[in-house]
Amino acid sequence: MNIYILIAAILFAIELLYLFIARRLNIVDKPNLRSSHKKITVLGGGIIFIIGIWLWALFFGVHDPWFLLGLSLVALVSFADDVHSVPNWIRLVIQFAAIFLIIYDIGLLKLDLWYWVLIVVIVSVGIVNAYNFMDGINGITGGYSLIVILSLIVMYDKFGFDLSMLIVVGISLLVFCFFNFRNKALCFAGDVGAVSIAFIVIFCLCCLINKTKDPTYIVFLGVYGVDTVLTIIHRIKLHEKLGQAHRKHAYQIMANELHIPHVVVSLIYMGLQALISAGLIWLPVNHYVYAAVVLFLLAVGYLIFMKKYYHLHEEYLKSVAEKAEH
C-alpha cells in the first residue's frame, strides 16, 4: 500500500510540474467557436497516464513489454500533436502499429485467425480515435475512464488481471481528475491523455475478452460507443468532414445548448456506464441478450434526445453564421 501512496504523490508532483512547464511553453488550448470552454487552458495534462504506466513498470517490473512500447509510441506522437500538429496519416500508422503490438503481446497474432486480427485492429483504432473525439468537456475522459477501470478491477477476482497495473491507472486517473474534474479545469487531457487512456483500456479489454472468450465486455464502453457511432452517422448524413471539429455529440449539446454544468454531464455519462457495467457483471442474464438490449436502448435514447434538442444546435450554428456575415 505504501508503494501506491508513493506513486500517487509522485504523479501529483509531476502533474503540478507539467502545468508549470506547459504554461511557460504555451502548451495550451485556446477556445474557438467549436469549443465547449471559454478560457485558455493548459493542454496535455493527460500525459500523467503514460507516466503512471512507466512508474508501474519501474516499481512492479515490465510484465508486458510490447504493450508498454505501443503505449509509449502512441503517447509520444499524440503529445507531439498537442504541441504542434502532426499529419493524420502519421498518427494512424503509429496507432495501427501499436495495436498490432498489443495483439502480439496477448498472443492473438496468429495467421489462421488473420481476419479476426484485422477486425480487432480496425475496431481498436476506431475506439482510440472515438475516445479522442469524446474528450470535450471537463471530467468526461477522466471520470468515464475511471468507471471502466473500476469495472475491470471488479473483474480481477474472476479473471486474474494484473491488479497492480489497474490500481496505478486508477490512481493516475484520480490525480488527473483533481485538476480536470471541476467547473474551471486547470488542464485538459489533450490527445496524449485521451489516446493513452484509450490504449490502456483497449489492452485491458482485449486481455479480458481473450481470457473469457466473451466479446460482450465491449459494453464496458457502451455509452461512448453509441454516442460516437451515431454522431458519426449523423455527420455523414450532413456531408460533413469527419476530421473537422464539431459540437454535435449528445454530451456537447447537453453542456453547450442546454447549459448543464460540465461536471454534471460527465457524472451522467459515468453513472449510466456504471449501471450498464454493473448489470453485465452481476445480473444473472445471458450476456449477448443483455448487450443487445443495452445497445438498443442507448441508441433509442440518443435518437430521442437528438430529436428533441438538436434544433438548439442548429440555431447556434445559424447565429454563428449571421455574426460572421456582419
Question: What's the structural domain count of the chain?
Answer: 1
- Rounded to 5°, angle at Cα 49 from 60 and 181: 130
State how beta strands 28-29 and 187-188 pair. Answer: unpaired
**Structural domain boundaries, residue 97:** 2-325
Rounded Cα distance between 230 and 250, Å, is 10
List the pLDDT tens digit at each of the 326 positions of the chain.
689 999 999 999 999 999 999 999 998 887 665 555 667 889 999 999 999 999 999 999 988 899 999 999 999 999 999 888 889 889 999 999 999 999 888 887 776 677 788 888 888 888 888 888 877 788 999 999 999 999 999 988 776 668 899 999 999 999 999 999 998 899 999 999 999 999 999 999 998 988 888 999 999 999 999 999 999 999 989 888 877 778 889 999 999 999 999 999 999 999 999 999 999 999 999 999 999 999 999 999 999 999 999 988 888 888 877 776 66
State how beta strands 41-43 and 187-188 pair. Answer: parallel
As given in the structure block, the three cell numbers for residue 59 are 516499481
Residues 6+ apart with CB under 8 A from 146: 170, 173, 174, 177, 270
Query: Do the Cβ atoms of 132 and 191 come closer than 8 Å?
Result: yes
